[in-house]
Amino acid sequence: MEKKTFVTLEQVKEITKTYPTPFHIYDEKGIRQKARDVKKAFAWNKGFREYFAVKATPNPYLLKILQEEGCGVDCSSLTELMLSKACGFQGSDIMFSSNVTPEEDMKLAYDLQAYINLDDFTHIAWMDKLTGIPETIFCRYNPGGHFMLDNQIMDHPGDAKYGMTKEQMIEGFRILKEKGAKRFGIHAFLASNTVTNDYYPELARTLFSLAVELREKTGADIKYINLSGGIGVAYRPEQEENDIFAIGEGVRHAFEEVLVPAGMGDVSIFTELGRFMLAPHGLLIAKVLHEKHTYKEYIGLDACAANLMRPAMYGAYHHITVLGKEKAPCDYKYDVTGGLCENNDKFAIDRMLPKINIGDYLAIHDAGAHGFSMGYNYNGKLRSAELLLKEDGTVQMIRRAETPKDYFATFDFSPFFTDE
């Protein structure tokens, strides 16, 4: 799959007259089309809804775009709930899936009448005492062991801190029914960033079978099954993109083979596709500040791991385009680095790229999810602006860049930085 940018060198040069690098920029047209494709792929399910994972890209301007396309939001913290509320999401627009949940987070989710997804069996008694049990409640399932697909281990749910065992799900549903719950949902997340059309259908079959068993053993009225996230993106150009329509069709087959014969054909399917929805539609744009020639060839950018942590944290691959040199041969080997005092602050290691010069602009691909949101302030680095390339071709700032005043704001009680 050829990696292409949705902005050109000429556009970036014009943008930087107003907004200096580094910055994240998102493609409104691509985001809207992705939301419509997901909705169309699952249109066979009357109650289908995508709940965008706010953690992936917590920006109100982007949430409003997704809201206009019919999406809800998946929240996991107090501030994500507050952000969603500010955007006009409420009630069943919100899915609250948290773990090690503070009381104030749970209270706000309850007050907003969000769908609450309990991560732990002990949370049933805790929530009952804290807020009471709502009439609609979800529980998160963890089957344990390894999640296998085509005889390959995709992930290790048994090592994950999330979810309940099957026995806990059965007992939990019984207790929740006794405490007044009337409508139930099931949620599970078994593998991350899968690049295969087979993961979601296999996950769906697992949860559909569980739903039938839970209904038989507890009498619970199971109305919703949340397949959560896990549909990944093709970060590498040699990878083949997931086909959301093939995925939706695979889930439909599992639905008709498992749920429909059990008399559960009215179950609504939910998804939480943060990465899949946004990652390909965001770029980190950075400028080359320095080059270094020692034991390796280094290219130093004005961006760093504070702007995109995934390569430093996970060794994750993000494709890089040198804007204006898209057709040039990639015959130079570089480590592309940021300026943090950490040797893992590298966007690429031994990457073959065109000849790079100081002043060139680089576009780092697939930064639209888990990019800005994972930013931090190590070394006192300030987080960059977020911009939106609108459908009409104009550019809108949707988050300003941090300033030193922002960085020092938590010392506002002190005698320091009073003149900042």
pLDDT of residue 418: 79
Domain 280-411 fold is Lyase, Ornithine Decarboxylase; Chain A, domain 1 (2.40.37)
Per-residue pLDDT of the chain (420 residues; tens, 9 = 90+): 789 999 999 999 999 999 999 999 999 999 999 999 999 999 999 999 999 999 999 999 999 999 999 999 999 999 999 999 999 999 999 999 989 999 999 999 999 999 999 999 999 999 999 999 999 999 999 886 666 565 454 556 656 678 899 999 999 999 999 999 999 999 998 877 888 999 999 999 999 999 999 999 999 999 999 999 999 999 999 999 999 999 999 999 999 999 999 999 999 999 999 999 999 999 999 999 999 999 999 999 999 999 999 999 999 999 999 999 999 999 999 999 999 999 999 999 999 999 999 999 999 999 999 999 999 999 999 999 999 999 999 999 999 999 999 999 999 999 998 775
Contacts of residue 261, defined as CB under 8 A and 6 or more positions apart, other chains included, come to none
- pTM reported for the whole predicted model: 0.95
Sequence ranges of the domains in the chain: 28-279, 280-411
Q: The domain 28-279: what is its CATH number?
A: 3.20.20.10
pLDDT at 152: 56
For residue 153, the model assigns a pLDDT of 47
Q: Which of 207, 169, 171 has the alpha carbon at shortest distance from 188?
A: 207
Instruction: Compute CA distances 413 → 230, 377, 403, 408, whole Å.
Output: 43, 20, 18, 11
What integer pLDDT is reported at residue 295 of this predicted model? 97
Per the rule left: phi > 0, alpha: psi between -120 and 50, beta: everything else, 151 is left
Residues 6+ apart with CB under 8 A from 111: none
What is the structure's pLDDT at 145? Answer: 61
pLDDT value, residue 1? 76
